[in-house]
Amino acid sequence: MKIRYSPQARDGLRDIFFYLNDRSPTGAENVMRAIHAGIQFLAENPMASQETSLAEIRVKILRRYNFKIFYRIEGDTVELIHIRHAARRPFAS
């Protein structure tokens, strides 16, 4: 499936990278690699992740780094809605 990034998801990725890169460039690289691997997994297996309480929204949890990728499926496209650390307060669309 194709991947489409919402502005919020794209901004979230940028913010995650800059936040982590200031603290540990190697750590930022590792986390970003894991996030992109999770996104690739979604492109190949869009229905394999958990449903949420929000209609049509699913979440892929990256357990090693505790990030969540919120997305929806629209036709042949996975739309990434938001990417955030699980320790942050709950996501509201």
The residue range of the domain holding 43 is: 2-85
* Cα gap 63→85, rounded to integer Å: 10
Domain count, the chain: 1
Q: What is the pTM of this model?
A: 0.90
In a domain, 92, yes or no: no
CATH number of the domain enclosing 50 = 3.30.2310.20
Is 67 exposed, middle or buried, given 0-12, 13-18 or 19+ CB atoms closer than 10 A?
A: buried
In a domain, 76, yes or no: yes
In a domain, 35, yes or no: yes
* Cα gap 78→65, rounded to integer Å: 22
In a domain, 91, yes or no: no
In a domain, 27, yes or no: yes
Strand partners, 73: 78
The pLDDT > 70 percentage for the chain reads 94
pLDDT at 55: 86
Q: How many residues does the chain have?
A: 93
Q: Which two tokens stand for residue 77?
A: 């496209």
Cβ-contact 93, 6 below 8 angstroms:
no
Per-residue pLDDT tens over the stretch 22-65: 999 999 999 999 999 999 999 999 999 999 988 899 999 999 99
Where does residue 39 fall: left (phi above 0), alpha (psi -120 to 50 degrees), or beta otherwise?
A: alpha
Q: Which two tokens stand for residue 76?
A: 């042949």
In a domain, 90, yes or no: no
In a domain, 93, yes or no: no
